[in-house]
Amino acid sequence: MIQEFKKFILRGNVVDLAVAVVVGAAFGAVVNGLVKDMITPLLGALGGQPDFSRLAFTINGSRFMYGEFLNAIVSFLLVASALFFLVVQPLNHLQTRMARRKTPEEPTDRKCPECLSEIPKAATRCKFCTSKVQPAK
């Protein structure tokens, strides 16, 4: 059982997923820092409030810190934008270019002239109707 667990843990996709989670967390921290220290003060300066994190209101003694929520929304939008423009778009473009370079594969089958069934290209007799056919060139 321990050997199976070791084999599972060392599988490529598990390790790749673990690396992706760690890199994603680090990227999230960088973007959160960018939002908190650069973007939010810039937006706040345009709107007259230098920092969203201090925005709050109180109802019956309960304090609602909606400024932190605004920071989280801006952070999410920046992360999603960065992933879309820096990862998804370039990969889609690369896949499109790679697909254009591929030459179409030659078919390995052809139709029997008598019964129109699919037969191998090199066949001299149809396996369905048993008629003789000329091998394809």
Q: Domain count of the chain?
A: 2
pLDDT digits (tens, 9 = 90+) for 22-58: 988 888 888 778 777 887 777 777 877 666 778 889 9
- Determine the structural domain holding residue 133 and report its residue range: 107-137
Q: Are residues 68 and 131 in the same domain?
A: no
Both 71 and 132 in one domain: the answer is: no
Higher pLDDT, 102 or 92: 92
Closest among 54, 57, 80 to 68, alpha carbons compared: 54
- Asked whether residue 46 falls in the same domain as residue 113, the answer is no
